[in-house]
Chains A and B, each alone.
Chain A
Amino acid sequence: MAFPVPGSEVFTQRGLASREAVLAALPDSLELHQHDPSFDELDALTAEVVRHRLWATTERMGQALNRMSGSLVVTDCNDIGVVITNEIGDVVQVGPYSLSLATSIDLAIRWILEHRGPSGIRDGDMFLCNDPWIGGAIHQNDVAVIAPIFHDGKLFAWTASMAHQIDLGGASPGSWTPRAEDVFMESLPTPPVRIVRNFEIQDDVEDVYLRRSRMPKVVALDLRAKIGANRVGRERVLELVERYGADTVKATMARQLDDAEAKLRAKLALAPDGTWTASSFQEQSHTGDRNLHEVRCTLTKTGTEMHFDFTGTSPEAGMINCTYAGLHGALVAGIIMNLGHDIPWATGGMWRAITVTSEPGTLNNADFPAAVGKASVAASFCTINVVEECLSKMTDGSEGLHDHTTAKGCGTWDLCVLAGLDGAGQPFATMLTDAMGAGCGAGVDRDGTDSGGILSIPMGRMPDVEMMEFSAPILYLWRREETDTGGAGRYRGGVTASLAIIPHNTEVPMGQVVSGSGKAVSQNTGLAGGYPGNTQLDIAVREGELARVFAEGRIPAAVEEMGGTTEILSCEEETVLGPRDVHVMLWQGGGGYGDPVSRDPGLVVHDVAELRVSPQAAHDIYGVVLVDGELDEAGTTARREQIKNERREKAVAAR
């Protein structure tokens, strides 16, 4: 039970302070380098060169982080974030990694300016933060290292690097505690502390940070990777300043913000004014819960502005909540995904066209000390889902923006954390990150990409099976795409995949955390008549007879071939994977677009041949009849007519 904590208010941010408010709170000792609106020496060519250098710098920062890290979540999956901001934290360039994580950094930088400004922010400082109430972190596993960049004694800009850390303590391995009742049962949130001072890591602060982790060596390496990434960012920004002048670089940043705003507004001008609503659900907020929890969004678009109203969202519950930072990052991530492919990813400018209503104490605006350990893939991901759905409903009715319309892809994450001892008695902890290869939603003129990934992490990657087996004592029985997991539609949702793993070379039972929603209610919604993608499913096979099956020279390809007993796992639980158990997980495919009865029958025949659609679904849902794998045109025409007749009869009967 979460009780209010007097004194915690200072760490809670619910909105981005204006420039005027930021400046008013700064001490005289901290000088900012600000854009001079009268500066008129920025030519278009230079602006483009500088703009592209900033963009390339975020990619370089991500590469630096990747190459120094020793954590598979980083090196093989890119669950990281990098960003460059102006002097007050307005995001000028988001790197192509986790968008919602990176775009919440403005809140954290505003907080640092207000609360660390008085004691001095100096060249060579870096701040570590994983406090979701402050920003720069959606849940505590996200740790940001945030670095001011000074030029000529003035605060010129900031860079930040973030990564999901494999374990930062708390009650459960992986810091993911399905039984958490409040944040005190989870990993400790740490507000911005100077982890680096005068370009040197502060060992006392580092000790406080690492002491909480079950995997301190991996986390220590990640810390250095983030510091290194920030140094790459700093060096490259200062190189630009050296070459083009501080005023030119700052004017380019200002133009980047203005362009993002102007281009977003120009797109909104193409859409009709109106109101669109969407809901996204989470089953089970914590172990033992049997309730359904909703994030609801109403988008009202007027002229060139958007108002997102989350009124009607369920009260905070269990460990699936996110803070305002989770809502803030998710909202602009959704906008980048739907509208932003040709807009600068400068969310500081986009925010000028956006307002938000959200009630504190709700699922995606949780009060301290609510549990938020699952925030990034629970309430925050649901926020992405509803924002994307509202935007796609808006663009579906807009001739100028119609091609921006996309049915929802995978709407969450299928989590499995394993921890224990390997065959040599050495401890390990790992997270199966294969769900990074989820199915994408269909568009208005194309199928969703099969196993195309999670759209809010553009550079997210599915890990190499061999690397997963190398990093933990497990063996994969399979990892494969699954038939009928893409939502049916005139354009089909991308199919997704499943895996089955067994413990290998260890007789010690493994601790296991299983967490994932969208098991009863679809999060991967279809659009314009398109069907949702599959529901997620996690299964444990207990005391399987794999040794016998292997001895017979076979590798099981289905749960039914494994022997043992089958257990459907809950959405939030901690369990044990025994030496003869099997863990099977199926994550989410994408939603379909348009009525499946209007899909080109030739495409359905191809889908069946490629095992993306079963002959049964082709017949029942698409109305396509195949004879020996070939299209039966007359049969298909008749079957489609029959489907429409059945609809007429059933709908009438239902009224």
Chain B
Amino acid sequence: MSTQARSISSNARQDDAGALWCTHCQGALEGTADDYLEHLPAYVGAATEGGPRIYADASAWIDSKVVFRQSYCPHCWTAFHSEVVPA
């Protein structure tokens, strides 16, 4: 871990050699600054898991299915990304 570490986001940092780690637990993360989120363990569930005021039934308006998707640090399980998006 270099002292030259730079911030990638509030959740991840990177050193000069390109190594990435979690800001919260210092655990190593896979991938690059541009794609590390895609390497995180993720969960896909019902849209309503995104909050009690997310409307449950997207089929009231559209044919696409809508889901809650969340990805985490694989070490401390802090949520790095949360979204309600088309499946």
Majority DSSP secondary structure for residues of A touching B = loop
Q: Could you tell me the distance in whole angstroms from the C-beta of A486 to the nearest C-beta in chain B? A: 9
A534 and B53 contact, CB distance less than 8 A: yes
Interface centre among A284, A485, A528, A586 (most CB of B within 10 A): A528
Residues in B whose Cβ lies below 8 Å from that of A291: 62-64
* B28 interfacial by beta-carbon distance below 8 Å: no
List 18 interface pairs A-B (beta carbons < 8 Å), by A numbering: A274-B33, A291-B63, A399-B6, A402-B7, A405-B10, A519-B60, A520-B61, A520-B64, A521-B84, A522-B85, A529-B79, A535-B53, A595-B80, A596-B79, A598-B78, A614-B52, A616-B52, A651-B72
B55 and A399 contact, CB distance less than 8 A: no
B52 and A519 contact, CB distance less than 8 A: no
Q: Could you tell me the distance in whole angstroms from the C-beta of A216 to the nearest C-beta in chain B? A: 36
User: 1/0 contact trace for B57-70 toward A, CB 8 Å?
Assistant: 01011111010001
Contact stretch, chosen from A14-22, A149-157, A642-650: A642-650
B residues sitting closer than 8 Å to A (CB atoms) are 6-11, 24, 33-34, 41-45, 47, 50-55, 58, 60-64, 66, 70-72, 76-86
B78 and A535 contact, CB distance less than 8 A: no
A650 and B45 contact, CB distance less than 8 A: yes
Q: Which of A279, A290, A597 contacts B62 (CB 8 A)?
A: A290
Closest residue to A592 on the B side, CB-wise?
A: B82
Closest residue to A525 on the B side, CB-wise?
A: B83
A520 and B62 contact, CB distance less than 8 A: yes
A522 and B54 contact, CB distance less than 8 A: yes
Closest residue to A613 on the B side, CB-wise?
A: B52
Name the interface residues of A235-282: CB closer than 8 Å to any CB of B. Answer: 272, 274-275, 279, 281
Q: Which of A279, A645, A651 contacts B43 (CB 8 A)?
A: A651
A531 and B64 contact, CB distance less than 8 A: no
* A83 interfacial by beta-carbon distance below 8 Å: no
* A617 interfacial by beta-carbon distance below 8 Å: yes
A residues sitting closer than 8 Å to B (CB atoms) are 272, 274-275, 279, 281, 283-284, 290-292, 393, 396-399, 402, 405, 444, 482, 484-485, 487-488, 519-522, 525-526, 528-535, 537, 568, 570-571, 586, 589, 594-598, 614, 616-617, 621, 644-645, 647-648, 650-652, 654-655
Asked whether A284 and B62 contact (CB < 8 A) given A532-B54, A534-B54, A654-B42, the answer is: yes
Report Cα–Cα, A651/B70, bound state, in Å. 9
Residues in B whose Cβ lies below 8 Å from that of A393: 9
A274 and B11 contact, CB distance less than 8 A: no
B85 and A521 contact, CB distance less than 8 A: yes
Asked whether A532 and B55 contact (CB < 8 A) given A520-B62, A651-B41, A654-B42, the answer is: no
Task: Knowing that A520-B66, A528-B10, A617-B52 touch, tell me 8 more A-B residue pairs with CB under 8 angstroms.
Answer: A283-B58, A290-B62, A396-B9, A482-B53, A529-B82, A647-B77, A650-B45, A651-B43
Report Cα–Cα, A485/B53, bound state, in Å. 6
Q: Could you tell me the distance in whole angstroms from the C-beta of B21 to the nearest C-beta in chain A? A: 14
Residues in B whose Cβ lies below 8 Å from that of A617: 51-52
Closest residue to A282 on the B side, CB-wise?
A: B62
B6 and A570 contact, CB distance less than 8 A: no
Residues in A whose Cβ lies below 8 Å from that of B7: 397-399, 402
Asked whether A521 and B66 contact (CB < 8 A) given A283-B61, A529-B79, A647-B77, the answer is: yes
Report Cα–Cα, A423/B5, bound state, in Å. 70
Q: Could you tell me the distance in whole angstroms from the C-beta of B42 to the nearest C-beta in chain A? A: 6
A522 and B50 contact, CB distance less than 8 A: yes
Asked whether A595 and B78 contact (CB < 8 A) given A402-B7, A532-B54, A535-B53, the answer is: yes
